Amino acid sequence: MKRLIPILGMIVVLTMLLSAANWVGPARLPGPLGPETSLPPAPKPKVETPVTITWLGHSAFKLESEGKTIFIDPWITDNPTCPIQVGDITVADLILVTHDHPDHVGDTIAIATATGATVVAMYETAAKLQEDGLPPENVLYGGAGRNIGGAIEIDGITLIMTEAVHSSETGSPAGYIIKLPNGATIYHAGDTGIFANMQVYEALYPMHIALLPIGSVFTMDAGEAAKSLRLLRPAIAIPMHFGTFDILAPNADEFVKLAKKEAPTVHVIVLEPGQSYTLEPGNYQ
Ligand code: ZN
């Protein structure tokens, strides 16, 4: 028996060496960033009525659907690419703030005060907006705001606050998934780098349109944003957060090129500031 032990040991070592010789590195998993996507996208709800999306430059958007008007990150004053004045905005039902940076909070207080809109923001950012003069009745849940997690409903509009990989002067940065009563689901990523949980949001809330930052430096660049399409799997992607400052990507050309390669089924729409896109009723996959 005593002589057997070293022999058995030798056999074990030899087996290990032989299998190491055959080892060719980590397996290439068929994940979302691999050569192929193995699963079809989660089915998207049918869109029953049109939704109009207007880009106001940078990350500022206006959504109009069935008589409701939603602004996201309404940076109007001092936004070098915004084609309108804050005084032009007379109608707003909801204002969604992704995070506490001046180019995203923008004119939230002025617009909410003028229109009576309800502001949705992270708990700590909601508190700061009230310190800065926004009446509590203009803030979600009488001043409370909210945080990441859970789908809440306001006037039939379902709002999911998502994570975003970024920073914020108060609270945490976020994005929004907006499920409109007409079936359309729109994701505004806020300012973010790419993150794996985008895949989780695709599974939970299959989206028609993804509004994605592509300008680099503070957010995803064109390459990351193109890869993110393989995680989010929207029908349509609209780039944002470019062309505003000299240090950002000046245009969306690179994103358009890479998106075509990475996610050829996604329809990329590049808007000019002030321009609108209407998602018509129908089935989108
Ligand atoms: Zn920011």
Confidence of residue 26 (pLDDT cuts 50, 70, 90): very low
Q: What mean pLDDT do residues 106-131 have?
A: 98
Distance, in Å, from the CA atom of 53 to the CA atom of 210, rounded to the nearest integer, reads: 11
Lowest mean pLDDT among 12-21, 31-40, 144-153, 160-169: 12-21
Angle between helix 253-262 and helix 222-232 axes, rounded to 10 deg? 40
Per-residue pLDDT, 238: 98
Q: How far is the CA of 175 from the centre of ligand 1 (A)?
A: 11
State the fold for domain 50-279. Answer: Metallo-beta-lactamase; Chain A (3.60.15)
Identity of the residue numbered 195: F
Per-residue pLDDT, 15: 58
Task: Compute CA 2 distance to the chain's CA centroid, rounded to the nearest angstrom.
Answer: 66
Q: How far is the CA of 125 from the centre of ligand 1 (A)?
A: 13
Portion of the chain with pLDDT greater than 90, in percent: 85
> pLDDT per residue over 194-238, tens digit each?
999 999 999 999 999 999 999 999 999 999 999 999 999 999 999
Answer yes or no: is pLDDT of 53 > 90.
yes
Q: How far is the CA of 188 from the centre of ligand 1 (A)?
A: 13
Per-residue pLDDT, 72: 98
Q: How far is the CA of 174 from the centre of ligand 1 (A)?
A: 10
Answer yes or no: is pLDDT of 62 > 90.
yes
Shortest CA distance to 120 belongs to which of 101, 99, 103? 99
Q: How far is the CA of 99 from the centre of ligand 1 (A)?
A: 7
Is the separation of the CB atoms in 216 and 246 below 8 Å?
A: no
Q: What mean pLDDT do residues 110-138 have?
A: 98
For residue 13 the two structure tokens come to 């070592």
Q: What mean pLDDT do residues 19-34 have?
A: 53
Is the separation of the CB atoms in 152 and 159 below 8 Å?
A: yes
In three-state secondary structure terms, 151 is strand
Q: How far is the CA of 176 from the centre of ligand 1 (A)?
A: 14
Q: How far is the CA of 166 from the centre of ligand 1 (A)?
A: 7
Q: What mean pLDDT do residues 114-125 have?
A: 98
Answer with the residue of higher pLDDT: 56 or 33. 56
Q: How far is the CA of 64 from the centre of ligand 1 (A)?
A: 25
Q: How far is the CA of 78 from the centre of ligand 1 (A)?
A: 16
Answer yes or no: is pLDDT of 19 > 70.
no
Q: How far is the CA of 243 from the centre of ligand 1 (A)?
A: 15
Confidence of residue 1 (pLDDT cuts 50, 70, 90): low
Per-residue pLDDT, 40: 76
Q: How far is the CA of 75 from the centre of ligand 1 (A)?
A: 12
Distance, in Å, from the CA atom of 95 to the CA atom of 139, rounded to the nearest integer, reads: 9
Q: How far is the CA of 103 from the centre of ligand 1 (A)?
A: 7
Per-residue pLDDT, 41: 81
Q: How far is the CA of 2 from the centre of ligand 1 (A)?
A: 69
Confidence of residue 42 (pLDDT cuts 50, 70, 90): confident
Q: How far is the CA of 262 from the centre of ligand 1 (A)?
A: 26
Q: How far is the CA of 168 from the centre of ligand 1 (A)?
A: 7
Q: How far is the CA of 119 from the centre of ligand 1 (A)?
A: 18
